[in-house]
Amino acid sequence: MKLPRICSSNSSVTKDCDGYEEQLEHHSNECFQLSQKRIILAQESMEENNIDVIILFDGNQTSSKFVGTTAPFGALLIFRNLDPLIIAPPIFEEQAGGNIDTEVMHFEGDLLSTLGKAIALRIGHKKRLKIGFDSFSLGYSVGLVLQRIGYKLADVSSTVLTDSLKKPFPEELKYVREISRICDCGLEAAYGALALGIRECEVAGEADRAMWRAGATRFRFPSLVCSGTKSSFPHSTTARKIINEGETIIVDISPMFLSYDGDVARSFLLGDDKKWAQYYQILQDSLLEALSIVMEGTNASEVDSRLREILTRTGLPSHPHLTGHPIGGFRSPFIGTNSRDILDENMVFVIEPGTYLKGTGGIRIERHVLVKKNGFEILDRFNPNFQKITG
């Protein structure tokens, strides 16, 4: 049976390739306005946590959420009681396309020295200043380097940044829906490319091509296509391996649109295998059963336990990874055994049940979920048959 085509150019964000640059500039301007709202949230949390300045470096989604542009820069300084300051090379403003109203201080050479000077110029040489940094994105090693500036450091990854990146603003949901649409395009292309004798990297290439055409601006990680015994490892890597009949195949993709990332996965099998088809149906059922309790106020850990209970009851080994995690560059919720997150309206996350049989193969499903006041919505739509009959 021919599957209905999911991927199309009908998008509320990027309607078609004509005028794409103008559309992207419009959305970049809007993202800058959203970043200003997020800075206000951060400043309120900084007041509560007694943080004077936060330093965010370029190169990750977190900094993009506060700068409002994907143009390369050096660092962003968020002051508790003053306007933010961008430290960037002279070419930054030109690359940002004129949509940044934040003050910019140019640097050439040592970025850390410029940071120290910028802080001193704004609020003086105060030894008791507390400087916040994000270990979630950059690691504690960066904190050690920041000590060269000479101020007291505080990791704000689980306080200020989590407070201000808890969930999308309502006007950001269209971007989360857009990245879900782009994910559908990638999955549809991967599924269409699957055939006996094709290589994993060729399938990944077709998915990437489709996502670029659909409006992706970059990727959070390289597209994963893993088949056969490689799929028994939860997160293996794409290779030049040829896909053979009867092998399980995991396709896992993570395109981005501006600072919003998606992360979806589907599993397939070329041929006919009733055992694996039954396992895949169990994953589908466990996913839907776990989602049945998703709504505002639900404990994230309850979603995890509900899903794992079903897998255990059927005799399938449960996945060794989290049951879910946030998407879109946001910081919550994490769906896991020890999670303390409480689901809130407009939170967005993936739910990803999987089962992996050592030396045989593995399967996983990842779907985008939007939390609603009294329920949920699955945002990605491409959901073909697990088995693809070839020949």
Residue type, 307: L
- Laid out side by side, the sheet with 324-326 consists of 324-326, 348-351, 367-372, 375-378
According to the CATH classification, is domain 170-388 in 3.90.230.10? yes
Per-residue pLDDT of the chain (391 residues; tens, 9 = 90+): 343 445 655 554 544 445 556 666 667 778 888 999 999 999 999 999 999 999 998 877 888 899 887 778 888 999 999 999 998 888 877 776 556 778 888 887 778 778 888 888 888 766 678 989 888 766 555 556 666 666 788 999 999 999 999 999 999 999 999 999 999 999 999 999 999 999 999 999 999 999 999 999 999 999 999 999 999 999 899 999 999 999 999 999 999 998 999 999 999 999 999 999 999 999 999 999 999 999 999 999 999 999 999 999 999 999 999 999 999 999 999 999 999 999 999 999 999 999 999 999 999 999 999 999 999 999 999 999 998 766 5
Pairing of strands 387-388, 264-270: parallel
Half-sphere exposure of 338 (CA within 13 A, CB side): 1
The tokens describing 228, both together, are 């056969």
Q: Domain spans of the chain?
A: 20-164, 170-388
CATH class of 20-164: alpha beta
Would you state the structure tokens that stand for residue 356, as one six-digit string? Answer: 């992996």
Instruction: Determine contact, residues 335/325, Cβ cutoff 8 Å.
Output: yes
| Half-sphere exposure at residue 168, Cβ-oriented, CA atoms within 13 angstroms | 24
Contact 224, 251 (CB under 8 A): yes
Question: What are the distances in angstroms from CA 372 to CA 212, 256, 326, 345, 378?
Answer: 30, 23, 15, 5, 11
Q: Are strands 324-326 and 348-351 parallel, antiparallel or unpaired?
A: antiparallel
**Beta strands per DSSP E along the chain:** 53-57, 75-79, 85-88, 103-106, 130-133, 152-155, 218-219, 224-227, 248-253, 255-257, 260-261, 264-270, 324-326, 348-351, 354-357, 361-364, 367-372, 375-378, 387-388
